[in-house]
Amino acid sequence: MPLTFTLDPAVTPELRDGLLDLWTDVSNAGGAVGFVAPVSREAIRPELVKHFVGMAEGRARLLVGYDEEGQVAAASFLTFNTHRLMTHWLWLYTVMVHPRHQGKGYGRDLMAAAADAARTLDGIEAIRLTCRGGLGLERFYGSCGYKEVGRIPGAIRVAPGDDRDDVVMLLPLH
């Protein structure tokens, strides 16, 4: 059953808790979403609050995918550039699909929904994201139409002696 996507859902305690659970479960399953397992909801909470502040200030939009039970199953944040010379593209951050839904095509659905949402925003011509090398994410994003446009070797240290590339990817929307 496909996910139902909502751009800018009302931020309720249920949504907040669903996002915290999603982010925690994705991180603890090895997902590259800014943390390294093991991580707790309380460690993630300040990052989620930063995204909520960006939303309240109009700098970010939230895209949520709900499963057939109405639970948060996927999410990402579309974040606008504040630099006046870069307002024609936005960042896609914290792209997550719950581990229980892996292999159902929901990642592709989330990426398509994010591109569709970005196309509705005035003046946005491209989406840029970064991903952690060494996990095959470049291939996944490439299969969704993104092109690798840059790579910083060893920029992400997930553990002592385990440095990964920071890969920059771009999706033109036209």
d(CA 100, CA 69): 13
- Bridge partners (DSSP) listed for residue 152: 166
CB 81 within 8 A of CB 87: yes
Query: 138 in a domain, yes or no?
Result: no
Instruction: Return the pLDDT at 68.
Output: 96
Asked if residue 71 is part of any domain, the answer here is yes
Q: How much is the pTM?
A: 0.97
pLDDT per residue over 85-128, tens digit each? 999 999 999 999 999 999 999 999 999 999 999 999 999 999 99
Whether residue 120 is contained in a domain is answered as: yes
pLDDT per residue as tens digits for the range 141-150: 999 999 999 9
* 51 found inside a domain: yes
Distance CA 161, CA 82 (A): 35
Domain with 117, as residue range(s), is 4-128
One-letter-per-residue 3-state SS of 41-78: HHHHHHHHHHHHHHHHCCCEEEEEEECCCCCEEEEEEE
- Within a domain: 92: yes
pLDDT-based confidence at 174, cuts 50/70/90? Answer: confident
pLDDT of residue 1: 85
Question: What CATH number corresponds to the domain at position 22?
Answer: 3.40.630.30
Structural domains of the chain, count: 1
Q: Quick check: is 150 in a domain?
A: no
32 three-state secondary structure: coil
Domain-embedded: residue 29: yes
pLDDT tens profile 20-78: 999 999 999 999 999 999 999 999 999 999 999 999 999 999 999 999 999 999 999 99
Residue 17 pLDDT greater than 90, yes or no: yes
For residue 171, tell me if it sits in a domain.
Answer: no
Mean pLDDT of the chain: 97
